[in-house]
C-alpha cells in the first residue's frame, strides 16, 4: 500500500511521518524541482520534532505531473489551492482511488468531492499542532486527534477507515456527521485565527481580559450564522469551546498568523470569507466578521507587496 500526499507543508509532513511509522509507504507530490532537489539533499528524510526529540521518516517524492497511477491520496494543501490541486492530479487517480481531504475552511471539500465523484472521498479535521521549522522539518506541538468522515458517498454509506488509517498510532476517529465537525472546526478557526493574526499574539493570549469583549461578541455572531444556516455547533456555547482550545493550544501561533508574518496568502477567504458569504445568503448581519475579513485582507495585501521581513 502507498499513500501519495499532496501538500508538503507542516501537516502533510506530519502525516507522512505517521503513515510511515505505521508501515505504510509514502510519496510526496511536489510542485517544482527546487523542492525535489531539496528533499534529495536530505536523503529523502523528513524530520519531526516530537516531545523534544527528533524523529526521521524515509519517504519517496515526485513531481505532481509525473507518470503513474495513484490509488490513495491525502490532500493537505492550503484550502485556496484545493480545487486547482485536485484538477492537476485527477488524471493520475484510478477510478476507485481513495481520497482524504485534511484542510482548514469550509466549502472547498464539497466542491472537491463533486469533482472526484464517484470515487470515495473523506474529509477530516485535526487538533494536532505542527509548524514548519524548515523545508521538510516540522515541530509538533501537540498530538491531538483526527476526525474523518465520508463525503462521497455520504457518511451513512460507510463508516470505514481509508485504507491503512486504522493502523496509525495517532488517534483517528470516524465521524458519521463530518459536516457538523467541519462547521465546528470552522467556527473555532473563525474565532481564533483572525484575532491572533491581527493582534500578533499566541492563541492563549486571547484569554486575557483585553480581548474578552471582542472574542465574546465574535463567538455570538458566528453562532447566529451557524443557527441561520441550520448547522448546529456544540452542546455548550461556542465561547466556551474557543476558550478551551485557546487554553490547550496556548503557546501555538495560528496558521493565519504564521502566514501573515511570512508574507504568504492566508486562508481568510475559506474561513471568515465563507462565513460572511453564508450569512448574506440567510440574511444575517456580520459586522465583526466582515471587519476582521477586510482587516486581514488589507494586511495580507501589504505583506504580499512588501514580501516577508
Q: What is the CATH number of the domain that holds 299?
A: 1.10.1040.10
Identify whether residues 167 and 186 lie together within a single domain: no
- Is the same domain home to 169 and 192? no
Q: What is the pLDDT of residues 216-243, one digit of tens each?
A: 999 999 999 999 999 999 999 999 999 9
How many C-alpha atoms does 141 have within 13 Å on its Cβ side?
A: 16
**pLDDT of the residue at 156:** 47
261 and 223 part of one domain = yes
Task: Indicate the residue among 176, 206, 232 that finishes a domain.
Answer: 176
Same domain membership, residue 197 and residue 153: no
Sheet containing 70-75, strands listed edge to edge, beginning at the edge strand earlier in sequence: 60-63, 25-30, 2-6, 70-75, 93-102, 121-126, 146-152, 172-174
Same domain, 59 and 194: no
Do 161 and 136 lie in one domain? The reply is yes
Provide the edge-to-edge strand list for the sheet that holds 53-58: 53-58, 45-50, 137-142, 129-134
The pLDDT of residue 62? 97
Domain shared by 159 and 276, yes or no? no
**Which cell goes with 141?**
506541538
What domain count does the chain have? 2
Q: Which contacts of 278-286 are long-range, i.e. CB under 8 A and separated by 24 or more positions?
A: 278/225, 278/229, 279/225, 279/228, 282/225, 282/228, 282/229, 283/228, 284/224, 284/225, 284/228, 286/221, 286/225
**pLDDT for the residue numbered 196:** 98
Last residue of a domain, one of 176, 194, 221: 176
Among the candidates 144, 161, 176, a domain finishes at 176
Alpha-carbon distance 149 to 147, whole Å? 7
Same-domain status, 171 and 187: no
Q: 41 and 114: one domain? A: yes
Facing residues of 140 across strands?
A: 130
Whole-number Å distance between alpha carbons of 11 and 101: 12
CATH code, 61? 3.40.50.720
Q: Which long-range contacts (CB under 8 A, 24 or more apart) does 107-112 make?
A: 107/270, 107/274, 108/79, 108/80, 108/82, 108/83, 108/270, 109/82, 109/151, 109/182, 110/151, 111/82, 111/83, 112/75, 112/82, 112/83, 112/86
* Residue ranges, the chain, pLDDT below 50: 155-156, 308-309
Backbone angles phi, psi at 115, to 5 degrees: -70, -30
| Cα distance between residue 121 and residue 142, in whole Å | 26
Q: Please say whether the beta carbons of 181 and 147 come within 8 A.
A: yes
Query: What whole-number distance in Å separates Cα of residue 259 and Cα of residue 253?
Result: 10
Phi-psi region of 25 (alpha: psi -120 to 50; beta: other; left: phi over 0): beta
As a residue count, the chain comes to: 309
Residue 93 backbone dihedrals phi, psi, to 5 degrees: -80, 135
Q: Are residues 24 and 141 in the same domain?
A: yes
Rounded distance between C-alpha atoms, residue 12 and residue 209, angstroms: 36
Residue-level pLDDT at 153: 72
pTM of the model: 0.93
Domain of residue 224 covers 181-306
Cite the active site residues. Answer: 185
Question: Would you state the pLDDT for residue 304?
Answer: 63
Q: Are residues 32 and 169 in the same domain?
A: yes
Residues 188 and 133 reside in one and the same domain: no
Amino acid at each position: 500500500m502507498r499513500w501519495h500526499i499532496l501538500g508538503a507543508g507542516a501537516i502533510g509532513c506530519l502525516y507522512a511521518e505517521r503513515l510511515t511509522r505505521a508501515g505504510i509507504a509514502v510519496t510526496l507530490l511536489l510542485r517544482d524541482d527546487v523542492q525535489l532537489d531539496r528533499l534529495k539533499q536530505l536523503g529523502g528524510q523528513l524530520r519531526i520534532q516530537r516531545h523534544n526529540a527528533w524523529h526521521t521518516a524515509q519517504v519517496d517524492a515526485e513531481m505532481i505531473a509525473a507518470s503513474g497511477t495513484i490509488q490513495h491520496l491525502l490532500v493537505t494543501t492550503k484550502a485556496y489551492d484545493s480545487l486547482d490541486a485536485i484538477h492537476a492530479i485527477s488524471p493520475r487517480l484510478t477510478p476507485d482511488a481513495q481520497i482524504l481531504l485534511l484542510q482548514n475552511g469550509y466549502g472547498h471539500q464539497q466542491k472537491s468531492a463533486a469533482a472526484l465523484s464517484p470515487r470515495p472521498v473523506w474529509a477530516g479535521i485535526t487538533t494536532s499542532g505542527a509548524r514548519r521549522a524548515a523545508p521538510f522539518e516540522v515541530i509538533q506541538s501537540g498530538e491531538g486527534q483526527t476526525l474523518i468522515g465520508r463525503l462521497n458517498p455520504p457518511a451513512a454509506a460507510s463508516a470505514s477507515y481509508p485504507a491503512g488509517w486504522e493502523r496509525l498510532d495517532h488517534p483517528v476517529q470516524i465521524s458519521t456527521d463530518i459536516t457538523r465537525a467541519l462547521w465546528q472546526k470552522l467556527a473555532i478557526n473563525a474565532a481564533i485565527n483572525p484575532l491572533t493574526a491581527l493582534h500578533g499574539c499566541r492563541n492563549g493570549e486571547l484569554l486575557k481580559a483585553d480581548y474578552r469583549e471582542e472574542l465574546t461578541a465574535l463567538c455570538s455572531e458566528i453562532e447566529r450564522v451557524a443557527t441561520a444556516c441550520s448547522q448546529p455547533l456544540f452542546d455548550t456555547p461556542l465561547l466556551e469551546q474557543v476558550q478551551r482550545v485557546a487554553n490547550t493550544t496556548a503557546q501555538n501561533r495560528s496558521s493565519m498568523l504564521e502566514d501573515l508574518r511570512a508574507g504568504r496568502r492566508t486562508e481568510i477567504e475559506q474561513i471568515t470569507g465563507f462565513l460572511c458569504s453564508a450569512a448574506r445568503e440567510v440574511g444575517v448581519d456580520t459586522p465583526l466578521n466582515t471587519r476582521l475579513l477586510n482587516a486581514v485582507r488589507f494586511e495580507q495585501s501589504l505583506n504580499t507587496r512588501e514580501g516577508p521581513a
